[in-house]
Amino acid sequence: MILVTGGAGYIGSHAVLELLNSGYEVVVIDNLSNGALESIERVERITNKKVIFEHGDIRDSAFLKYIFSKYAILSVMHFAGLKAVSESVSSPLQYYDVNVTGTLELIKAMSTAGINKIVFSSSATVYGEAATVPYVESMPRGQSANPYGASKGMVEQIFTDLARADERWSIVLLRYFNPIGAHESGDIGEDPKGVPNNLMPYISQVAVGIREKLTIFGNDYPTRDGTCERDYLHVSDLAEGHVLSLSMLKTPGLYTFNLGTGKPISVLEMVLAFQRVAKVELKYEFGKRRDGDLPAFWADASKAKELLGWEAKRDLAAMIKDTWNWQSKNPNGYNS
Q: Does residue 148 carry a catalytic annotation?
A: yes
| Sign of the alpha-carbon dihedral angle for 36, 41, 42, 47 | positive
Euclidean distance between CA atoms 234 and 275, whole angstroms: 18
Longest dimension (CA), the chain: 55
* Cβ–Cβ under 8 Å, residues 204 and 273: no
The pLDDT value given to residue 134: 96
DSSP string over 73-94: --EEEE--S---HHHHHH-HHH
Give the mean pLDDT of 281-308: 94
User: For 193-212, what is each residue's pLDDT tens digit?
Assistant: 888 988 999 999 999 999 99
pTM of the model: 0.96
The pLDDT value given to residue 269: 98
Give the mean pLDDT of 117-136: 95
Q: How many domains does the chain have?
A: 1
* Cβ–Cβ under 8 Å, residues 29 and 58: yes
The pLDDT value given to residue 305: 98
Euclidean distance between CA atoms 177 and 24, whole angstroms: 26
Q: Single out the catalytic residue among 24, 148, 176, 232.
A: 148
The residues that bridge with 137 in the sheet, in sequence order, are none
Give the mean pLDDT of 46-64: 98
| Amino acid letter, 277 | V
Residue 336 pLDDT grade (very low, low, confident, very high; cuts 50, 70, 90)? confident
Euclidean distance between CA atoms 208 and 323, whole angstroms: 11
Residue 85 pLDDT grade (very low, low, confident, very high; cuts 50, 70, 90)? confident
The pLDDT value given to residue 206: 97
- Cβ count within 10 A of residue 287: 12
H or E element in which residue 1 lies: none
- Whether 294 has a pLDDT exceeding 90, the answer reads no
Give the mean pLDDT of 262-273: 97
3-class SS at 212?
A: coil
CB contact set of 42 (below 8 Å; sequence gap of 6+): 13, 187, 188
Chain CA centroid to CA 144, Å? 17
Distance between start and end Cα atoms, the chain: 32
Return the higher-pLDDT residue of 85 and 68.
68
CA nearest 126: which of 155, 105, 102, 99?
155
Residue 290 pLDDT grade (very low, low, confident, very high; cuts 50, 70, 90)? confident
Give the mean pLDDT of 76-83: 96
The pLDDT value given to residue 86: 83
Q: What is the mean pLDDT of the chain?
A: 96
User: For 222-253, what is each residue's pLDDT tens digit?
Assistant: 999 999 999 999 999 999 999 999 999 999 99
Residue 257 pLDDT grade (very low, low, confident, very high; cuts 50, 70, 90)? very high
CA distances to 71, 119, 206, 235 from 15, in Å: 19, 12, 27, 9
Residue 160 pLDDT grade (very low, low, confident, very high; cuts 50, 70, 90)? very high
Residue 292 Rama label (left phi>0; alpha psi -120 to 50; beta):
left
- Cβ count within 10 A of residue 285: 9
Residues 162-192: b if buried by 16+ CB within 10 A, e if exposed: bbeeeeebbbbbbbbbbbbbbbeebbbbbbb
**Domain range for 298:** 2-335
User: Can you give the CATH number for the domain in which 85 is found?
Assistant: 3.40.50.720
3-class SS at 174?
A: strand
